[in-house]
């Protein structure tokens, strides 16, 4: 059974940091890309970062470039998203997802498996 378990969300003040983790199981981790998405109330789900487990290539949305860092711990089948300099606009439910397109994608439809989401709230 494929499982993606997202964790690490919480309440933080603007300028603070959080580290999200996505623990994966039930599939061959190295053959997939892992993406992080977020969805704020009333808005579409947007891709913010992804990483190709096979070759380490990464993608960042313009809105998080320079503030967020994605990394993978292949020994633990886990992907982390380090979020620094957080802004109130970063408030959303954050989801991790796995894509068979091993090079990664920013498209929601490219991801076959989704975790349950973790809430990130940034206060001003």
31: phi then psi, degrees, rounded to nearest 5 = -90, 5
Looking at residue 109, what is its pLDDT?
93
Looking at residue 101, what is its pLDDT?
87
The contacts of residue 44 (CB under 8 Å, 6+ apart) are none
Torsion of CA 106, 102, 59, 91, to 10 degrees: 60
Low-confidence ranges of the chain (pLDDT < 70): none
Looking at residue 104, what is its pLDDT?
85
Looking at residue 102, what is its pLDDT?
84
Burial class (CB within 10 angstroms; exposed 0-12, middle 13-18, buried 19+) of 43:
exposed
């Amino acid at each position: 059974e494929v499982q993606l378990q997202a964790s690490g969300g919480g309440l933080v003040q603007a300028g603070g940091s959080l580290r999200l983790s996505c623990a994966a199981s039930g599939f061959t981790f190295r053959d997939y890309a892992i993406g992080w998405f977020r969805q704020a109330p009333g808005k579409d789900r947007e891709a913010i970062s992804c990483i190709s487990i096979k070759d380490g290539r990464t993608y960042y949305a313009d809105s998080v470039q320079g503030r967020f860092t994605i990394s993978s711990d292949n020994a633990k089948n886990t992907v982390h998203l380090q979020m620094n300099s957080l802004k109130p606009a970063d408030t959303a439910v954050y989801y991790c997802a796995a894509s068979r397109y091993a090079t990664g994608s920013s498209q929601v439809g490219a991801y076959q498996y989704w975790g349950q989401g973790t809430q990130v709230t940034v206060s001003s």
